[in-house]
Structure 1
Amino acid sequence: MSASRSGNKPVYAVTSPGLWAQRFDLATVLDATIRFFPAVLPFAVDGFVGWGGRASGIRARRLARRFGKPAVILEDGFLKSYAPGKLEPAHSYIIDRNGIYFDATSASDLAAFIDRPMTSEAATRAQAAMDFIRRNRISKYNNSPLKGLSESGLPSGRPYVLLVDQVAGDASIAGALADESSFAAMVQHARAQYPDAILAARTHPAAGDRSPILNAARALGIEVTIPGRMNPWPLVEGAEAVYTVSSQLGFEALMARKTVHMFGVTYYSHRGLTEDHCKAPAPRNPATLEQIFHAAYIDYSHYLDLHDRRPVEIEHALEQILTVREQRGQIAKRVYTGGLSPWKKRALDPFVVGPEGRAVHCRRLREAIALARKNKGQVALWGSSKPFPRDVAALRFEDGFIRSRGLGANLALPSSLAMDGDHVYYDARGESRLEHIIASHPFPRELTDRAARLVASIVEKGVSKYNVGTDVRFPDVAEGRLKILVPGQVEKDASIKFGSPNVKTNRGLVADVRRLYPDAYLAYKEHPDVTSGLRSGGDIPDAADIIVREGDIKHWIAWCDRLETMTSLAGFEALIRNKPVGVHGIPFYAGWDLTDDRMPVPRRSRAITMEMLAAAALILYPFYVHPLSAMPCTPEELVDEIALKRKVKASLPARLMLWISQSINRSAVKIRDGRG
């Protein structure tokens, strides 16, 4: 008896190791139990699952016919991922139980979806999604650099038509009733139809020397121009017309309201929207652009959240695609590092993926500098300990302000990092990128409203930088007595060295606060790295009424009437919780008319609101990656995830390696701080 007849979810057998590796995604999009064939008997499954026109798809169809079971064919969705390949989770999958969309010789679920009547609500939704895609330059893959047409390499001011390449031998060509001669016919027609235009070929990255368009053009003696690697939307929108056999880029050209010449048969051709130069196997009903889009991108495609892999709608997926593309677009050149520990490499890697690929790690910094110079890349440094190289582009990275669920010294991987130039945000000797944002960004209302909502969520969900510590018992303080929180810092930290010129010790800070507020109740909250024994906090501040070591800093901020600090991030956390803050150093949040500054910061003359500060520090400045996926995310997604307190499961070997690394790191930190 099959699983479906016993009242459980249907059981499907996948037919390749690659599909088995994706079994958790497949179980979600198919709402089924996934088994591996031939490890499961044919009579115990409700169908066979394969991939497109590949071997697994052929095998699934053959097994389905042999055992009288359905075949379920999967493919990448039309909004797939940042980059091709399987290194990152997919945004969407296609499921077809009758065929597959790129095979014009047989029926498909997509064709049936297109032929269904469409409501006005569905048309409005489709148009809104198409507008979002076009406005934000989103495509199936989104790792091509965002460039203007002037950077394409095409001669300025001359008209051009865009010829779209595909991979020779791909199933989408044969399925479109085309072959390599179709590309030759396409080149010839474009040359004849647009005699004065440049023929620009959008080559496929996987085509290489087997590019059907380039081979056809060479054989015909027709000159074509290859634009530089770039996002396809400017090329599409600037073209007089677009030519393709069956590429998905042809449909994106329809979204841009371009004339599209088709030399194959695919799901959007022969519907009254394209110039068709080949014959379809059977007549097709006319359809609107909204009708085809809704059928392909909404009815036919299945979307998963990038991080927790739950089913989501297209609008959610589009926002996540844009988040990934926007963050990674800031890493314009390939990153090279030198001399980083294995942990720091692992921590940095998800933040430094860009259009040119992933980071290259070298054993020594000088090797990284040499490679970056040779390959026109950039060097990434961690923190402020190493001098900034002057003959090559460089970046500095440091922990962000909603960092993790655990301490960095305990090797908890960061979920946010700050990217900067020569001066990181805590280095007051010069202007950091964060300081520049605060001083010059226009901060539109939409952004400050978003910041206000984010701050409210952080406060409501009790999220802070490290999110460690337990509930706490507060001291009894006489009613009406001012309660001041003084957060301790690690005295050897660069934030004190470069950001607090006058007061440099916790003991000295508490003494200064006592002089300013002789009758107040002073609670000195030891830094969690000090409490854990990892770092030194210097001499115990004897001017405090109480030394506290328990509870997260957010608990003590809620308790106090005001906070006094050198440069601690606790000052920023107090500001967003509407507590008065006195500052004895020059942290990034001082000098903007929000704090009581014990020393002047002349170059910071702009008066800002708390919402503007929060927008700069929490939205515009940091990079975020999600703890579940290590993919870029929004600060809102990270706050929600930290609040859920989900634990990422690790294997026993991984836990053992973490314990060993933590032990080594603790010893190294103590030696560095002079306590070894």
Structure 2
Amino acid sequence: MLVPGRRRDVDALLAWGRRPSALRVERLARRWDLPVWHLEDGLLRSLAKGRNHPPLALLVDELGVHFDATAPSRMEQLIAAPITAAEADRARALGMLWREQRLSKVNPPAEAAAPQDPFVLVVDQSAGDRSIALGLADASCFQQMLQAALDEHPDCTVVLKVHPDVISGRARGHFNARDLAEPRVRLSADGGHPAQLLERARAVYVVTSQMGFEALLWGRPVHCFGVPFYSGWGLTHDRCKAPVRRRQRASLEALVHAALVGACRCIDPHRHQPCSMETLMRAIGLQRRLQAQQPRRCVAYGFTPWKQRNLRRFLAGSQLRFRAPWRRIPQGVDAVVVWGRRAKPRLLEAAARRQLPVVQVEDGFLRSVGLGADLVDPVSWVVDHQGVYYDATRPSDLETRLATGQWTPAQQQRAAALRQRLVEEAITKYNLQAEPWIRPVGQRRVVLVIGQVESDASIRYGAPGLRSNRALLAAVRAAEPEAYLVYKPHPDVVAGLCRAGAGEDDAAELCDAVLPQGSIQQLFTQIDALHVLTSLAGFEALLRGLEVHCWGLPFYAGWGLTHDRERCDRRQRQLSLDELVHAALIDYPRYVSRDSGWFITPEQAIDELVAWRAAPPQRRTLVQALFRHWGRLRRR
């Protein structure tokens, strides 16, 4: 605002709400004869408040500010304007999506608990909030509101929701100890998300809080003791007279469309580009759901610095502490986190004595472009509260989902579309590129045998019979004596990051071809069948409609989709391929964007993997190079 003269390339000035700085902007605009566009946080702002959580939606108003009832605003005009049938349909769908995703202006994962007995909700605000005075109210309105709630609902508890800024000590509220001494008043002061309170309240009392608008989305009666933007249209019970500009009635659809579409601009948190309100609602809803599923306070054991960084991404929203494997479990934690089955027995015993759940994390099934052993960051991990998917000796979250889950036709259609996209884009776990291999002319049946790292936990806990690559090759040769056998060793073994199995270097004696550099997704197009111990390649082959033989018990075996040599008594159910896909790729893993660090859907993860694979290859960092070199030395 210290510009000495008007710039010729400026068409308008921007001001934030009704802050003192906005008044200075307005004076400058009058001097320069320029319009002022006022900005404010959108009604769906972000996950949290603070510098690390900028607004993802803004209200843009060239006339005024939506919470200022003393003057016209664009929001007000949009509410009063007629809307089309398509806009009304969209508004109804937005209201439903808001409820499904359980959203609010700011969206922490934990929800404020609602009483079991009947209650009405009274919403406090920060003292000095400009929306109070500009909403034609004052501090006395809060006392009137509380008393009205008590008088009008004599048989109900009155839940008083305290503003988060009051809880944090950054602001004062409008109620004192005497107000709270009333026996029927119950304080909600944990800063929790209001969805459960709004969902179950018999009525909601506000002065000018946005929570009144959210209550309308939940279909609750709303009593207004000020003039917020949503009052005066015949949708609320108003105790304060609205301006004459609002004497006409408006539909809830018109209000929702104006507030969430017409006056609002949204940004995609992943691509950092403009997006629809629906896109933003789903993105924030996904963060809330996944964060709510995880323990709040975790202690993690045995994670390298590189994995610690990634664990923070995949358990975003949890408080994490890291400990060496020999350290005791500290007080004040809700869960112990370990990598796969690597936890020491002593740690597991200590967790059991404390009745603390042990959460196991592992690589997901659509991981990266490059090997994890090369310290390539993952797009997907799994977080399992029962076991881990490759451990057939006990249940896992994935196995339980496969054994008990029900999927709607729409969910199965989504899984089918996801499967088709994976095949079309040739996406696999590591997405390694190699020269194509063409099946020999004249061979009637070509069979691929997949090698694994023999020290891998998936063999130790998922292969009760055969446990070596050479034994697998010998068994397949005996089972398919006339087939053309192709053996593909594990990429980590080929790269020198893991040891070959006993006798694996002589694999050529038992097969017709060894393909150390072959691309697994390209090989799928050249073969008739696949044999595995527990390799994920069997699942990837199922996605492509191939015949799969399992000599161990990977997570996808035992459901009627594979030819199984082993049996798991817990797996008695027959599943369709799309049910398996939904459980394994949609329900079970977590996907985190490489760009935003936010949780994403598997469809978005495929987009990122495709773009990642198409980008020019990046040179290894010094840490990656040293790790690869050290890995080779350790395995000599």
TM value normalised by structure 2: 0.90
**Separation in 1, partners of 2:614, 2:132:** 45
Q: Say whether 1:73 aligns with 2:38.
A: yes
**8 Å contact 2:439–2:446 — kept in the other structure?**
no
Q: Tell me, what secondary structure is at the counterpart of 1:272?
A: coil
**8 Å contact 1:104–1:266 — kept in the other structure?**
yes
Q: Say whether 1:362 aligns with 2:326.
A: no
Q: Say whether 1:403 aligns with 2:363.
A: no
Post-superposition CA distance 1:504-531 (Å, at most 9, x none): 2223322222222223222222322223
Deviation at 1:459, TM superposition (A): 0.5
**Separation in 2, partners of 1:648, 1:263:** 57
Deviation at 1:62, TM superposition (A): 4.5
Q: Could you say which residue in structure 2 is the equivalent of 1:198?
A: 157
**Alignment match of 1:345 (pick from 308, 311, 315):** 308
**Separation in 2, partners of 1:409, 1:519:** 36
Describe the shift of the 1:201–1:596 C-alpha distance in structure 2 as closer, same or farther (beyond 3 A). Answer: same
Q: Could you say which residue in structure 2 is the equivalent of 1:234?
A: 196
Q: Say whether 1:568 aligns with 2:535.
A: yes
Give the counterpart letter for 2:139 in structure 1. Answer: E
Q: Could you say which residue in structure 2 is the equivalent of 1:514?
A: 477
Equivalent residues in 2 for 1:256-655, closer than 5 Å:
256-284=218-246, 285-353=248-316, 357-364=317-324, 369-371=329-331, 374-375=332-333, 377-387=334-344, 388=348, 389-390=351-352, 391=354, 392-470=356-434, 472-538=435-501, 539-540=504-505, 541-542=507-508, 543-645=510-612
Give the counterpart letter for 1:83 in structure 2. Answer: A
The gaps in structure 2 that reach 5 residues or longer are none
Describe the shift of the 1:181–1:449 C-alpha distance in structure 2 as closer, same or farther (beyond 3 A). Answer: same
Q: Tell me, what secondary structure is at the counterpart of 1:187?
A: helix
Give the counterpart letter for 1:382 in structure 2. Answer: W
Deviation at 1:216, TM superposition (A): 7.8
Describe the shift of the 1:239–1:473 C-alpha distance in structure 2 as closer, same or farther (beyond 3 A). Answer: closer
Q: Say whether 1:218 aligns with 2:185.
A: no
Give the counterpart letter for 1:419 in structure 2. Answer: V
**8 Å contact 2:366–2:380 — kept in the other structure?**
yes
Deviation at 1:228, TM superposition (A): 6.7
Q: Tell me, what secondary structure is at the counterpart of 1:430?
A: coil
Describe the shift of the 1:648–1:106 C-alpha distance in structure 2 as closer, same or farther (beyond 3 A). Answer: farther
**Separation in 1, partners of 2:307, 2:71:** 52
Deviation at 1:570, TM superposition (A): 0.3
Deviation at 1:200, TM superposition (A): 1.0
Describe the shift of the 1:168–1:537 C-alpha distance in structure 2 as closer, same or farther (beyond 3 A). Answer: farther
Q: Could you say which residue in structure 2 is the equivalent of 1:666?
A: 628
Post-superposition CA distance 1:366-385 (Å, at most 9, x none): 768314xx24x222212211
Provide the aligned C-alpha RMSD in A. Answer: 2.9
Describe the shift of the 1:599–1:221 C-alpha distance in structure 2 as closer, same or farther (beyond 3 A). Answer: closer
Describe the shift of the 1:234–1:279 C-alpha distance in structure 2 as closer, same or farther (beyond 3 A). Answer: same
Describe the shift of the 1:57–1:216 C-alpha distance in structure 2 as closer, same or farther (beyond 3 A). Answer: farther
Deviates more, 1:358-367 or 1:69-78: 358-367
**Separation in 1, partners of 2:426, 2:4:** 48
**8 Å contact 1:89–1:306 — kept in the other structure?**
no
**Alignment match of 2:148 (pick from 180, 183, 189):** 189
Q: Could you say which residue in structure 1 is the equivalent of 2:73?
A: 108
**8 Å contact 1:303–1:317 — kept in the other structure?**
yes
**Separation in 1, partners of 2:615, 2:54:** 16
Post-superposition CA distance 1:558-577 (Å, at most 9, x none): 21111111111001000111
Describe the shift of the 1:217–1:125 C-alpha distance in structure 2 as closer, same or farther (beyond 3 A). Answer: farther
Describe the shift of the 1:579–1:383 C-alpha distance in structure 2 as closer, same or farther (beyond 3 A). Answer: same
Give the counterpart letter for 2:300 in structure 1. Answer: T
**Alignment match of 2:207 (pick from 238, 245, 252):** 245
Q: Tell me, what secondary structure is at the counterpart of 1:206?
A: helix
- Aligned residue pair count: 621
**Separation in 1, partners of 2:20, 2:307:** 40
Percent of matched pairs sharing the same residue: 38
Give the counterpart letter for 1:276 in structure 2. Answer: D
Describe the shift of the 1:287–1:386 C-alpha distance in structure 2 as closer, same or farther (beyond 3 A). Answer: same
The gaps in structure 1 that reach 5 residues or longer are 1-14, 16-36
Q: Tell me, what secondary structure is at the counterpart of 1:537?
A: coil
Deviation at 1:476, TM superposition (A): 4.9
**Alignment match of 1:141 (pick from 106, 111, 114):** 106
Deviates more, 1:578-587 or 1:73-82: 73-82
**Separation in 1, partners of 2:290, 2:143:** 40
**Separation in 2, partners of 1:115, 1:216:** 42
Deviates more, 1:573-582 or 1:414-423: 414-423
**8 Å contact 1:243–1:260 — kept in the other structure?**
yes
